[in-house]
Copies of this chain bind each other. A is one copy, B any other.
Amino acid sequence: MAGNTFGEWFRVATYGESHGAAVGCVVDGCPARVPLAVEDVQAQLDRRRPGQSRLSTPRDEADRAVILSGVEGGVTLGTPIAISVANRNARSGDYELLKAVPRPGHADWTWQVKHGVRAVAGGGRASARETIGRVAAGAVAEAVLKARCPGARIVAWVEQAGTVRMERTDGADWTRTDVDASPARCPDLATAARMAEAINAARREGDSLGGIVACRCSGFPAGLGEPVFGKLTATLAAGMMSIPAARGFEIGEGFSAAAMRGSEHNDSFAPAPGGGVRPATNRAGGVLGGITTGEPIVFRVAFKPVPSIARVQRTAGFGGEPVELSVPGRHDPCVLPRAVPVVEAMAALALADALLAQAARGEP
């Protein structure tokens, strides 16, 4: 959680400006002898990359991952895994205007204030390209999770885009194929179609939409999460709220739980198939006291609308001078479909870290 490093045991450091030479990550703490191929990484990068459909930015980047270290003969070596993705399709000219004018709602201004300098082109590190390092590292984390928890599955989807939302269905066991069946990445295809319309309408109007991504992690054992500050709710929240444009996080019933009574919200216990008990319902979203229950972990992340819009905004330049700004460049009207693999990556990173922490102590 320090700066550009996430995780205590399964740690990733990411790097890279949008228009610099490369973006990528170094994963430290990955167990040895975990099967890993560059294709595992590329598959999630492909779901994240721009230019996949008309719903996203026309900036077209192949975003080819190269594994520089830590993998040999198809397995991890227990050494750091460095993954790099070159930046190719940068059009820095688009950013000339932005040297003098901070985009409203964007981090141009806070980065400048924080460091007294910033990489103007492409937003530097305050760009969606920063998430490439996360997605690459998340793919490594997923490989670990699959090796340790056969049956583990992490699937995110777009539940809401602007004001269009699908019904909440925490129990539905969607696959990534289901999610990818529509460009909006909403597994409810009727809703997906309406989302696509809304996104296209926003684009035509030079505007943008926010939305909500839901995520379900199933097949994980009970007992993961490190109370009190390393509760899984805390590390998941940190991971999700660190994603660009994230504005809210909730687990299980989330904000709705605030209006419920204990007698409504509590999940009673029932006999478990192999002996002992398990929760009979899952209002907790798979986490009690920050520790997994073995039920699916279900959470949601709210994203604000993309701040870079073509529509004219009355704002001020760095010096305070009034400006009418129409943000140039190629921007997503709605980042939600591309945020899906990023949410999955951060979930995988938080879970891999929790898995190692629990194994470290050799507990049940």
Contact = CB atoms under 8 A, between A and B. Distances in A.
Contacts of A212: 255, 258
A234 B207 CA distance: 27
Given A15-B81, A26-B13, A255-B302, A5 B360 contact: no
A318 B277 contact: yes
Given A320-B275, A360-B9, A292 B20 contact: no
A250 B247 contact: yes
A69 B17 CA distance: 6
Contact of A289 (B111, B231, B311, B363): B111
A247 to B, nearest CB: 5
A117 B78 contact: yes
Contacts of A20: 68-70, 72
A175 interface: no
A145 interface: no
A257 B305 contact: yes
Question: How many copies of this chain does the complex contain?
Answer: 4
Contact of A110 (B247, B249, B292): B292
Contact of A114 (B67, B72, B124, B291): B291
A334 B246 CA distance: 29
B262 A105 contact: yes
Nearest to A231: B242
A186 to B, nearest CB: 14
Contact of A267 (B104, B118, B306): B104
Interface string A195-214: 00000001000011111100
Interface in A263-308: 263-272, 275-277, 279, 284-285, 288-293, 302-308
Given A3-B28, A111-B291, A210-B260, 8 more contacts: A2-B11, A2-B28, A209-B261, A229-B239, A258-B302, A260-B305, A275-B320, A359-B360
Interface string A77-107: 1111110100000000000000000101111
Given A251-B248, A266-B105, A268-B315, A360 B356 contact: yes
